[in-house]
């Protein structure tokens, strides 16, 4: 990490600021090595007392390659101030509506009393240990930024990916075994298998799929949403095209991304710009494009 501070006794001109923003945008796009390294810049301009401070922070790193479904590279309190995330007309209401998309779990919830179910839940929850949720009540919600979307295409087709059209049946939030992570698990009934070699992936089969995120309630009555920045949560009772990744030593899958399928057209599950390409497209055309992309792999 390197920090560079500069000071001048006059404000930067609009032209200088525009030029700096352009440079930062180009740097943020990265180059051919973007899949292995990322370069991020932050610039903060503080005007006061006739002096301009320019702070540029550059960080170079390598995204984690762990096969575990959880990987928190960097904590970003993106949701710590919900008033800044929603439409300016009524941002607090917008955030509360977003929060309702995530199921809730009590931090002090007891474990299942049935030994078989308790063992089953432990085997699932261990994959979400070593998270970064707050163990004590907090007034804030947090978005964890692990750069999951960098280099990820709109149709993330890989050798081990499982791609299905499925209807979500139910969902619930759970804590990891060490109570540092929260995740949402959904049961989904498969309608079509577009890609997948797992023995559990068959038309008509019901599978469990999960994703980091959920609302944690504390004994004080406070509750906080913890999620991955840019990732949204599927809703029960809807149809989706899911891109899934098998969880190690499990019959379950973690959600890479997905698209809601409805009579009004396709809607991307997640927020990054690359997933907006197919928004509004009719389902039949969209599935043809996905099948074509699979065939080209």
Is residue 197 assigned to a domain?
yes
User: What is the reported pLDDT for 271?
Assistant: 94
Residues in the chain: 297
User: What is the reported pLDDT for 56?
Assistant: 32
Are 133 and 273 within one domain? Answer: yes
- In degrees and rounded to multiples of 5, residue 117 shows phi and psi of -70, -35
Is residue 66 assigned to a domain?
no
- In degrees and rounded to multiples of 5, residue 101 shows phi and psi of -75, -10
> What's the CA gap between 265 and 239, in Å, rounded?
11
Is residue 69 assigned to a domain?
no
User: What is the reported pLDDT for 143?
Assistant: 83
133 vs 64, 176, 272, CA distance in Å?
A: 19, 10, 23
Q: What is the largest CA-CA distance in the chain?
A: 70
* Final residue before a domain boundary, out of 33, 61, 89: 61
Are 214 and 242 within one domain? Answer: yes
Residue 248: half-sphere exposure toward Cβ, Cα within 13 Å: 8
Are 32 and 150 within one domain? Answer: no
E-strand ranges in the chain read: 2-8, 38-48, 51-61, 74-76, 104-106, 142-145, 162-175, 182-195, 206-212, 214-217, 223-228, 239-246, 253-262, 265-268
User: What is the reported pLDDT for 61?
Assistant: 35
Strands 38-48 and 182-195: unpaired
Are 127 and 270 within one domain? Answer: yes
* Final residue before a domain boundary, out of 14, 38, 61: 61
User: What is the reported pLDDT for 14?
Assistant: 52
* Final residue before a domain boundary, out of 61, 82, 106: 61
User: What is the reported pLDDT for 277?
Assistant: 95
Are 113 and 145 within one domain? Answer: yes
User: What is the reported pLDDT for 210?
Assistant: 98
Are 193 and 265 within one domain? Answer: yes
Is residue 68 assigned to a domain?
no
User: What is the reported pLDDT for 22?
Assistant: 52
Are 33 and 119 within one domain? Answer: no
Are 134 and 176 within one domain? Answer: yes
> What's the CA gap between 52 and 5, in Å, rounded?
10
User: What is the reported pLDDT for 145?
Assistant: 83
Domain of 191: which CATH number?
2.40.50.120
User: What is the reported pLDDT for 147?
Assistant: 87
Q: Which two tokens stand for residue 48?
A: 């006061």
Q: Which two tokens stand for residue 260?
A: 């809601």
- In degrees and rounded to multiples of 5, residue 186 shows phi and psi of -125, 145
Is residue 208 assigned to a domain?
yes
Is residue 67 assigned to a domain?
no
Domain containing residue 214: 74-295
Are 209 and 121 within one domain? Answer: yes
Q: What is the model's pTM?
A: 0.70
Is residue 201 assigned to a domain?
yes
What total of structural domains would you count in the chain? 2
Are 139 and 181 within one domain? Answer: yes
Q: Is 80 left (phi over 0), alpha (psi -120 to 50) or beta?
A: alpha
CA 144-150-153 angle, to 5 degrees, is 125
User: What is the reported pLDDT for 44?
Assistant: 34
Are 273 and 134 within one domain? Answer: yes
Is residue 23 assigned to a domain?
yes
Are 183 and 291 within one domain? Answer: yes
Give, for all 297 residues of the chain, the pLDDT tens digit.
333 333 333 444 555 445 455 544 544 444 433 333 333 333 333 333 333 333 333 333 333 333 333 333 333 333 334 444 444 445 666 888 888 899 999 999 999 999 999 999 999 999 999 998 888 887 778 788 888 999 999 999 988 899 999 999 999 999 999 999 999 999 999 999 999 977 789 999 999 999 999 999 999 999 999 999 999 999 999 999 999 999 988 999 999 999 999 999 999 999 999 999 999 999 999 999 999 999 998
């Amino acid at each position: 990490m390197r920090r560079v501070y500069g000071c001048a006794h006059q404000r930067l001109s609009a032209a200088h600021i525009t030029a700096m923003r352009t440079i930062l945008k180009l740097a943020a796009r990265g180059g051919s090595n973007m899949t292995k390294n990322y370069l991020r810049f932050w610039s903060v301009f503080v005007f006061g007392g006739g002096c301009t401070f320019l702070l540029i922070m550059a960080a170079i790193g390598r995204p984690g390659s762990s096969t575990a479904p959880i990987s928190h590279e960097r904590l970003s309190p993106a949701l710590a101030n919900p008033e800044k995330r929603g439409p300016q007309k009524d941002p607090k209401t917008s955030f509360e509506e977003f929060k309702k998309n995530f199921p809730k779990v009590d931090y002090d919830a007891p474990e299942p009393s049935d030994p078989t179910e308790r063992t089953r839940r432990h085997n699932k929850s261990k994959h979400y240990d070593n998270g970064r949720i707050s163990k004590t009540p907090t007034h804030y919600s947090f978005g964890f930024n692990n750069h999951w979307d960098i280099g990820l295409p709109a149709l993330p087709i890989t050798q081990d990916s499982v791609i299905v059209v499925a209807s979500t049946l139910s969902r619930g939030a759970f804590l990891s075994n060490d109570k540092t992570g929260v995740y949402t698990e959904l049961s989904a009934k498969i309608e079509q298998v577009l890609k997948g070699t797992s023995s559990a992936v068959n038309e008509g089969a019901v599978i469990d799929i999960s994703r980091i995120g959920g609302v944690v309630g504390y004994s004080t009555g406070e509750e906080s949403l913890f999620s991955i920045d840019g990732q949204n949560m599927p809703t029960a009772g809807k149809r989706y095209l899911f891109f899934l990744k098998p969880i190690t030593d499990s019959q379950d899958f973690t959600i890479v991304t997905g698209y809601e399928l409805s009579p009004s057209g396709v809607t991307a599950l997640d927020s990054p710009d690359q997933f907006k390409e197919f928004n509004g497209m009719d389902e039949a055309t969209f599935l043809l494009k996905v099948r074509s992309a699979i065939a080209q792999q």
